[in-house]
Amino acid sequence: MKLLPRISLLLPALWLCVAVLSGCNEKKGAPLFLESNRKGGEAEAPVKDVPTDILSTQKAFTNVSKKVTPSVVNISTISRKKVIQPFFEANPFFEDFFGAPQTRRDKSLGSGFLISKDGYIVTNNHVVRDAESIQVKLSNDKVYDAKVVGGDQKTDIAVIKISASDLPVVVLGDSDKLEVGQWAIAIGNPFGLDRTMTVGVISATGRSNMGIETYENFIQTDASINPGNSGGPLLNVYGEVIGINTAIVAAGQGIGFAIPVNMAKPIFSQLIQKGSVSRGYMGVTIQPVTEELAQSFGLKQAKGALVNDVLKGGPADKAGIRQGDVITGLNGSEVKDPSHLQRLVAEAGVGKAVRIAIFRDGKALELGITLASADSAPKRTREAPEEGQQSGEADLLGLSVDNSEQGDGVVVVNTIRGGIAAEAGIKRGDVIVSINRKRTATTTEYARAIRQAAKGSSLTVLARRGEASIYFALRIR
């Protein structure tokens, strides 16, 4: 019985000896890992039959990278910005005691792409705006100083130039033919990581009203676009540039925006030729067509741009366009909303004759108009009318009105909260100039128009607010 503990201690030692002896009998030089026979090893790949379409797609992406990456550049800028002193700088004696306001040097990174062999580069305007110095790094690691040729803040497009020759250039594609679901490839300099390539699809086209730029017609993509990608190219599987990466939605991953190349071409062409951009101009102010306005004007759909004012002597005035017309098309293109019309007119060009489709008094008409330059548009200086004092009782619309000093309408001196007019957006100080397209120059004419309104009917009210004229649709209840 006393021998059992000793035997139990000897068993592990015996197992260890057996393991060592068996290890000695193994073949010397045994591999520590398996290496693929596609690299000269002896092991087969875990997956032998990869679908040919996947291999073809993979090959297409690598081909795009090899062909286009040499044309993509990294842009680094240095700018000097004012350091804000929130508590003291507002004091008029600040500079007497502390000297001129302090500034700091800010560095930023962006991307761009070569469009000419002699060094013209397209990028975003916000990448190079206010830069004191700009350096461009090519794919061969050569660095050049660059200068700004021109920038357009309304589309966020800029052109810079380096002194070089025989450079690799991109090929521009056709962004008008893009379809949702097509491959999208972005190459740029996100977070300073040189020439990063990301892949996704075209998520949407024609994105506007994003509040990013004045003229918007963005391509939306889920190809990863991050800070530093700005100004870089968005490509199709042929390696053609279809857009300029320009913005991201910080709160949502997989949502990036690019300027369509067809929209960008006339912009950077003008920047190269003359350093600035000229756009077409009609001489109207416009507003969206809401469902209520569409019903009151007799439109089947809430589309187009409602003309709420026509500049006297401007191209639209000469062509016969009137206040209250709904512009539904330009040169055969359907107008979706005011921003769409604004972009179509801007792209049409200065001095170009275009055909405008309008809807007036229940009828579709077409007019010819020759566009002028937006640079020649007169500046309006009319002051907004002062808000009147409350007087009188509210009417059916929930308004108190008085004759305007100019005699061209009635001034809203008070609005009732929750009233029909207030809910529609009419404010105190607005000047109502017409109801159902009939002038209301006096309170008598205004009161007559209100009395004629039947319960359940709609009123189309045109009001002037400062510089702007605005249509409102009111339903009597």
Q: What residue ranges do the domains of the chain occupy?
A: 68-82+102-162, 175-274, 280-376, 399-475
Provide the CATH number for the domain formed by 175-274 in this structure: 2.40.10.10
Q: Please work out, in degrees rounded to the nearest 5, the angle formed at the alpha carbon of residue 237 by the alpha carbons of 236 and 238.
A: 90
Rounded to whole angstroms, the Cα distance separating 57 from 47 reads 18
CA atoms within 13 A on the CB side of 239: 17
Task: Give how far Cα 332 sits from Cα of 121, 289, 327, 356, 358, Å.
Answer: 34, 20, 12, 8, 12
Q: How many helices (H) and strands (E) does the chain have?
A: 10, 26
19: left (phi over 0), alpha (psi -120 to 50) or beta: alpha
Single-letter amino acid, residue 298 = G
CB of 208 within 8 A of CB of 215?
Answer: no
CB of 415 within 8 A of CB of 397?
Answer: no
Asked, colleague to colleague, whether 280-376 and 399-475 share their fold, the answer is: yes
CB of 360 within 8 A of CB of 322?
Answer: yes
For every one of its 477 residues, what pLDDT tens digit does the chain have, with 9 covering 90 and above? 444 555 454 555 545 444 444 554 445 567 788 888 888 888 888 888 889 999 999 999 999 999 999 999 999 999 866 555 554 545 555 555 555 555 667 788 899 999 999 999 999 999 998 899 999 999 999 999 999 999 998 899 999 999 999 999 999 999 999 999 999 999 998 887 888 999 999 999 988 866 667 778 899 999 988 888 899 999 999 999 999 999 776 666 778 899 999 999 999 999 999 999 988 889 888 888 988 888 888 888 899 999 988 888 889 999 999 999 999 999 999 998 888 898 889 888 888 899 999 999 889 999 999 998 877 766 543 333 333 333 345 688 888 888 877 777 899 988 888 888 888 889 988 899 888 888 888 888 888 888 887 776 788 888 888 767 888 888 887
Class of domain 399-475: mainly beta
Single-letter amino acid, residue 5 = P
Catalytic positions, written as ranges: 126, 156, 230
CATH 3.10.450.50 assigned to domain 68-82+102-162? The reply is no
Class of domain 280-376: mainly beta
Q: Any idea what DSSP says for residue 178? A: -
